[in-house]
Chains A and B, each alone.
Chain A
Amino acid sequence: DDAVPKQKIEIDNKVGDIALERIRDTIKLDPSLPWTETLTVTYPETITVDVDDDLNRELAFYKQALHGAQTAKSLAAKHNFPFTRPSDYFAEMVKSDSHMERIRQRLLDESASIKRSE
């Protein structure tokens, strides 16, 4: 049997919607704000895949991100906004070199074990 305990309903979400809209109006960013200030893009599709299907779910997220990145790149060109990092620009990364080395080592180990089993 599915384990779903009794649900309680306290607020009429129809009534709440009006309040939500009013609240959103009070915090909304200035609509004349240039895109480069928020860098937000919207994916024109909803994601409808089986939640438990890991592969297709991740693929759907990947597609959303790729679409977003491509849209953003053309928007950036329109706004004269630098997008691509020049290859001679170096700065601290979120993952340290030693961490990336461990990731590389793991990938090498994995491919070695695949080769061994062949």
Chain B
Amino acid sequence: EQETEVPQAKRIRNKQRVLLLSSRGINHRMRHFMNDLEALLPHTKKDSKLDSKNHLNLLPELADLNNCNNALYFEARRHEDLYMWAAKTPNGPSIKLHVQNVHTMDELKMTGNCLKGSRGLLSFDKAFDETEWGRLTKEVFTHIFGVPATARKAKPFIDHILTFSILDNKIWFRNYQIVEKDPLQPNGPPQMSLVEIGPRFVLTPIRIFEGAFNGATVYSNPEFVSPAAVRSLIRREKGEKYGNRKH
């Protein structure tokens, strides 16, 4: 008898794990927002707040300790501005984005729901493929927001879709539940519809660095104005208005 060993094609897997953590000084909305991401992305490992905002070089090490090859770090400034770092560790790149207009899943307006830990579809609009920073961002977000099939808590079905769209040079995020049955005709022909689950947020890319939380800047958004500068300008204009009226 001859043993015929069929050379089994080794299945390539998409192995991703994401370290999720924040700086000190996040407010309740930011905290809930992070909890939402943790609930949606079962391949994340949440860690305690990072003590120092000046030692981001600790993060790749921390990711390594947790067997993570990605990091999602939320940096709160002045208790009101939120920045998100999406990085590949240990070799980079890292993308720094400004997070705005956060709506969490707790809000009662979004009526959708999905399985905890189910793998979400990822949808990117065409604009991501039109610029080099867009293509890189799409690649990194695919690693971070795509739940790998091997994730411990992943479910074998698909019931929601995460969309990333570029509009007004910002990245808009939405998350919808996929409903395949018409609630009015449960036995009728399947008709796909969507119900928003949340969270919602808008990201403005600021910079892309070559390394993980360090290295040379390879992209910087010329249109980005820091929220502090915007606020101070508004205040100054208000002050000028008063000054003009007085004189």
Contact = CB atoms under 8 A, between A and B. Distances in A.
Contacts of A40: 121-124, 142, 146
B126 A65 contact: no
Interface residues of A, number: 69
Given A3-B234, A33-B12, A65-B176, A47 B116 contact: no
A83 B163 contact: no
Interface string A24-38: 101111101100111
A7 B225 CA distance: 8
By secondary structure, the B interface counts as mixed
Chain B: interface residue count, which band? Answer: 35 or more
Contacts, number: 209
Contacts of A73: 192
A83 B123 CA distance: 16
Contact of A92 (B116, B121, B178): B116
- The 3 A-B pairs with the shortest beta carbon distances in the complex, nearest first, are A68-B123, A37-B14, A85-B157
Interface of A: 1, 3-5, 7, 9-11, 13, 16-17, 19-21, 23-24, 26-30, 32-33, 36-49, 51, 57, 60-62, 64-70, 72-73, 76, 82-86, 89, 91-95, 99-100, 102-103, 106-107
